[in-house]
Amino acid sequence: MQAVKVIRVPLRLANSYLVQGEKTVIVDAGDPGFSRDILKAMRKNGIRKSQISLIFITHGHIDHYGSVFELKRHIDAPVAIQAIDQTYLESGTQAPLFPLNRAAAFLKAVGQDMKVRKRYGLKADVVINERLNLESFGVAGEIIHTPGHTMGSSSLCLINDTAITGDLIIRRYLFRGPAERVAFLHNQEAFLQSVRTLRERNIKLLYPGHGSPIRMDRVRIPNRPQTTTADRK
């Protein structure tokens, strides 16, 4: 199978990615209203709609799946998401937010009840449990379950020691600053195990859900959970 190319598509606050192999997988779709930006990036890079084999949503937050309903009107490709977060995608609602600090608690008050108003009756076509090999979708990689941010969060690990990880790890100031855990974690123990899993896979470069790529050797994550009352099983 041919080498993989990752194209980052910034969508205001969040990222979408075009993962090119023999075919192309779209990873995440941003907030509602950004499907045109993804289609524009496809045209710029010479990717035809017929070459899209899968639309993979890393987790059930609206800033990552909000435009998938619009995309499906233009692209006839299956939508994939991990089983635990499937219900949020299909209902157009947010997966639960569990803040680790006061600033995150404020954002939760604003964003927890957000909904996607126009859903076009979308259903997940591919429901992932622990992992999904993408060979049949024309990309040399594997989607694995990496819970923590949400319990259904998943990452796409590629053969070139890179991974697209959604909101597992971000930069402190979203677009800049050192790499650290995201301010919303449903389960901190699961998050720490997910980070260990990426290290065990020898992942060297992360493509996060927000901002520019992060070198794995720059990720400094404590081995123990942060003290908080927001953690849940």
**What are 83-139's pLDDT values in tens digits?**
999 999 999 999 999 988 888 887 888 778 788 876 657 899 999 999 999 999 999
Closest CA to 59 of 36, 93, 102: 93
| Phi-psi map region of 13: left, alpha, beta (phi>0 left; psi -120 to 50 alpha) | alpha
Looking at the DSSP assignment, which residues form a beta bridge with residue 55?
26, 79
What DSSP letter does each residue of 35-95 carry, written as one string? HHHHHHHHHHTT--GGGEEEEE--SS-HHHHTTHHHHTTT----EEEEGGGHHHHHHTBPP
Is residue 140, in this structure, part of any structural domain at all? yes
Residue 232 belongs to a domain: no
Look at strands 126-128 and 79-82 and give their pairing. Answer: parallel
Cα separation, 197 vs 192, in Å, equals: 9
Is residue 213 one of the residues assigned to a domain? yes
Range of the domain at 90: 5-218
- Tally the domains of the chain: 1
Tell me, yes or no, whether 223 lies in a domain: no
pLDDT of residue 118: 66
Most confident region among 30-44, 101-115, 170-184 by mean pLDDT: 30-44
Q: Does 228 map to a domain?
A: no
Mean pLDDT in residue range 27-33: 95
Is 230 part of a structural domain of the chain?
Answer: no
Does a structural domain hold residue 233? no
Largest CA distance in the chain: 48
Counting residues of the chain whose pLDDT is more than 90, the rounded percentage is: 74
Distance CA 225, CA 217 (A): 20
Q: Indicate whether 49 belongs to any domain.
A: yes
Q: Say which CATH number the domain at 144 has.
A: 3.60.15.10
